[in-house]
Amino acid sequence: MNANIPEYGMVQRRSTYVPAATTLSILLLLAVAAFGCWLVGTRPLDVGTDTQTYAGFFEGLNSSGFETRLEPGFVWLTYALWKLGFGIVGYQTALFALMLGTLFVATRRYHDYLAVDTLAHQRGYLTFLGAALMLLYVSPMFVNATINAVRQGLAALLVFAALLSFQRKQWWSFVILGAVAGSLHLSSLLYMVFAPVLLLGTRMQRLIALIAFGAYVSGISMTVVRAFVPALYDLVMTYTATQYYRAGVRIEFAVFSIFWYMLPYVLAPLVRQEYREKIKESAAVYLVMTLPFFAVGWGYFSNRYLLPAWLSVSLILAAMLVHSRLALLRNPLLLRFGLILSCAAFYYYVTHEILI
């Protein structure tokens, strides 16, 4: 019998060959992630308005006891890194690495959410992950999440993943991801409160978006809260009050935010038909993440209510890119080149503190 032909009944070993393109994608992603860890981890303490606060909390763990208003998940994470012997640079590096870990969780869930042809879809995950990372690196909102609102940045993409799970009726996943996000930043629970909107039809969701937008820009939401929930109004208006940041209705934030909700519908014809409806449905998750802002986003630092939503935009745009009908936009080679260039933008943003 020919030695090259397996005998009847013998099981052939599955090939473990990894395509060179896959290996290249993994190496590039690791290199870009390592660059980000180095850049954010080694930043001076005067880069980022909250950097010194987090560094001071970390160094304060040297004392026998400590009191803090920070969320328990973040406190225990910080304490674990301190016990492992990390210094300030190591601490900042680890936090950014964990933020990239939440990106992996969110993109994995979103990629599965969009799945049509399972085999072909799984092969495209690395391209999607690279596109999402590229768009985050060129986003000033992501810089805000990495050097200022670090706790909320750690929780933000977990909120997106949790709401995707809710939309798919994966209840345990929703609860676990939501609880982890809430343990990192308490405001994450606000988005979970609005999750039932995802059970409504598309037309009703659009109506809610219109009403929420109109109530906010007209000042009605602020008036209603002040009249009927004065304790909440006082809390929002006094929390982190500062002379350097104005409170009140921020129409520019509202218009900017509603624009990203409308974009997947406007550009739907440019997305391949098999992915078009799924991407438009995921826009509802983005909408839910804007509702806390439309409800109470007239206090100080109201843009932070929008941080999870604005970060999720990069994932939705990445999906529109890799599933575009235009072959050039989804070309893996072009996306890899864009990922490399995004490192230069991220370097400039961090070193010059360019953020929204």
Q: What is the pLDDT of residue 49?
A: 86
Q: What is the pLDDT of residue 240?
A: 64
Answer whether 270's CB lies under 8 Å from 324's CB: yes
The Cα 164–Cα 150 span in angstroms is: 22
Tens of pLDDT, residue by residue over 236-269, are 887 665 656 677 889 999 999 999 999 999 999 9
Q: What is the pLDDT of residue 118?
A: 57
The Cα 338–Cα 257 span in angstroms is: 25
The Cα 126–Cα 19 span in angstroms is: 13
**Cα 47 → chain centroid:** 22
Q: What is the pLDDT of residue 6?
A: 47
| Low-confidence residues of the chain: pLDDT under 70 | 1-18, 63-66, 117-123, 239-245
CA-nearest of 193, 104, 191, 100 to 154 is: 100
- CA quadruple 31, 37, 38, 42: dihedral, nearest 10: 180
Length of the chain: 356
Q: What is the pLDDT of residue 236?
A: 82
Q: What is the pLDDT of residue 8?
A: 41
The residue to which tokens 């209840």 are assigned: 171
Q: Helix, strand, coil shares of the chain as percentages rounded to 5?
A: 75, 0, 25
Q: What is the pLDDT of residue 322?
A: 94
This prediction has a pTM of 0.91
Classify residue 172 as exposed, middle or buried by CB count within 10 Å of its CB (0-12, 13-18, 19+). Answer: exposed
